[in-house]
Structure 1
Amino acid sequence: MKKLLPHILFLFSFNTSVFSQSIKNKDTFTEIVAQEEGDLNNDKKPDKVILEMDVKSDTRPLRVQIFLSQPNIKTSKLIVSSTKIIESQYPKNRNGQHNGNPIPDFFIEDGNLQMLTDINDLKSRYTFKFQNGNFELIKISRVIWDGKNKTSETEIDLVKGIKIEFDQELGSDKILNKKQKSVKFKLLPKIQDLTFSQLETY
């Protein structure tokens, strides 16, 4: 019995460790909020973007995952998984209050991933292109309404390094107060590195 005791203790310790690890690795993002399909890597095969929520967490965090098709196999490969680019529905700093903004929309257009946000009435569109093995931010478009008869818009081309700001009156194509300046980016931001608060600073 004395010889068996160390083996029994080892097996008990091993099983406990495996069980704890399985609990730790269990995926808590179980609620699918949205799902989009389209060609993102220009191989004429459907890729997939999935937006999920952790409904067990009090903060209701969101996760976006991007799966790309692979050559000669039917299964897709997970390329991006991020919980930073979207603010939780009930952030800790709001003490249980909702963040007040709708969940961002994701869709695929012209081979690029588009992300639409509405933060405090500022509507933004972020365009990500799959290149260099990553989804890189290449363009930002923003518009906000003054509540009367004018909108203020911003267009940022991160590839060309140009930022344009202008106003427009509702129902008119005339551009007012146009300003253009150069902006420099040493590297294009990658979607997995960006946080929701960083996006608002551009």
Structure 2
Amino acid sequence: MKNIYLCFIFILIASQMNLFAQNIKNKDNYNYQVREEEGDLNNDGKMDKIMVKMDTINETRPLILQIFLSHPNGKLTLAVSSTKIIEPQYPIENQGKHNEYQIPNFFIEKGILTMWSEIKGGNITYDFKYHHGNFELINVKKITNNATKGYIDEHTIFTETKFNLITGLRTETDDRLGSKKVLNKRKKIVLIRPLPKIQDFKFSDKELY
């Protein structure tokens, strides 16, 4: 009986060590770089960098956004790292199917970090600005259409949404392709405080704007 008990303890310890080893192994497999952009994000006159990497081992193909800020000595330090801002290429809920969207593009211009993403029936653009040690969401621009099965014609209505999170002004404009006349325009004030930080931002938050 004692030998059986000892054997059981050995197996339990071995299984726990194996699980621990797997957790360490699977902790960080973002081994494939898909995006890189350089520019001055904190207005210190030096080049900062953003990188997007993919985990090619995980079958959902998750992605990570990393933001590196420069120092006076020229070295870059990781300031922000997020695995929530970009949707995995093969989400679990899709049961092995691709999400049908390309990996978001990132741009740096005049101190603003811009993220452009495809969404159902259009695209959405987010602007983040460095402020007091954080990258805060300050602008959202979204363009969608009501086309069925992706077919766009002269009857398709496009809706452009502009949301200035600093002032709270949210404007929606409806028009048709090729038409110079606005069909409808709606304005309202929506105050979000504090401003969303990039490390807390999730790809599903697009539904909020």
TM-score range, shorter chain: 0.7 to 0.9
Output one character per residue of 1:144-173: Cα deviation in whole Å (capped at 9) or x when no partner.
234223321100000001100011232344
Instruction: In structure 2, give the amino acid aligned to 1:160.
Output: T
Whichever residue aligns with residue 33 of structure 2, its letter is I
- C-alpha separation between the residues in 1 aligned to 2:142 and 2:24? 42
Name the amino acid aligned to 1:86: I
Q: Which runs of 5 or more structure 1 residues have no equivalent in the other structure?
A: 1-15
SS at match of 1:198: helix
Report which stretch shifted further, 21-30 or 176-185. Answer: 21-30
- 1:178-197 map, 5 Å: 178-197=185-204
Where do residues 121-140 of structure 1 align in structure 2 (5 Å cutoff)?
A: 121-140=121-140
Cα offset for 1:86?
0.7
Aligned partner of 2:41 in structure 1 is 40
Secondary structure of the residue aligned to 1:199 is: helix
Amino acid at match of 2:133: G
Q: What secondary structure is seen at the aligned counterpart in 1 of 2:138?
A: strand
Paired position in structure 1 for 2:52: 51
1:7 matched residue in structure 2: none
Counterpart of 1:191 in 2: which secondary structure?
Answer: coil
Give the drift of 1:193.
Answer: 0.2
Q: Aligned ranges for residues 103-118 of structure 1 at < 5 Å?
A: 103-118=103-118
Q: Determine helix, strand or coil for the equivalent of 1:200.
A: helix
Shift of 1:139: 0.3
Gaps of 5+ in 2: 1-16, 147-151
Alignment of 1:10-159 (within 5 A): 20=21, 23-24=24-25, 27-71=28-72, 73-146=73-146, 147-149=152-154, 150-159=157-166
What is the Cα deviation at residue 117 of structure 1? 0.6
SS of the equivalent of 2:205 reads helix
User: What TM-score results when the alignment is normalised by the length of structure 1?
Assistant: 0.85
- Stretch deviating more after TM superposition (167-176 or 181-190): 167-176
User: What is the DSSP-based 3-state SS (H/G/I as helix, E as strand, rest coil) of the residue aligned with 2:30?
Assistant: coil
**Equivalent residues, number:** 185
**1:22 Cα deviation from its structure 2 partner:** 9.9
AA aligned opposite 2:164: D
Q: Secondary structure at the match of 2:60?
A: coil
Name the SS of the counterpart of 1:159 in structure 2: coil
Change (3 A) 1:96 1:70: same
TM-score relative to the length of structure 2: 0.82
- Match of 1:83, as an amino acid? T
Deviates more, 1:144-153 or 1:62-71: 144-153
- Residue by residue over 1:71-90, the C-alpha shift from the partner in whole angstroms, topping out at 9 and shown as x without a partner, is 2x221111110000111011
Per mean C-alpha deviation after superposition, the further-off stretch among 121-130 and 173-182 is 173-182
**Could you tell me which residue of structure 2 aligns to residue 177 of structure 1?**
184
Q: Which amino acid aligns with 2:113?
A: L
User: Match of 1:151, SS?
Assistant: strand
Indicate the larger mover: 155-164 or 103-112: 103-112
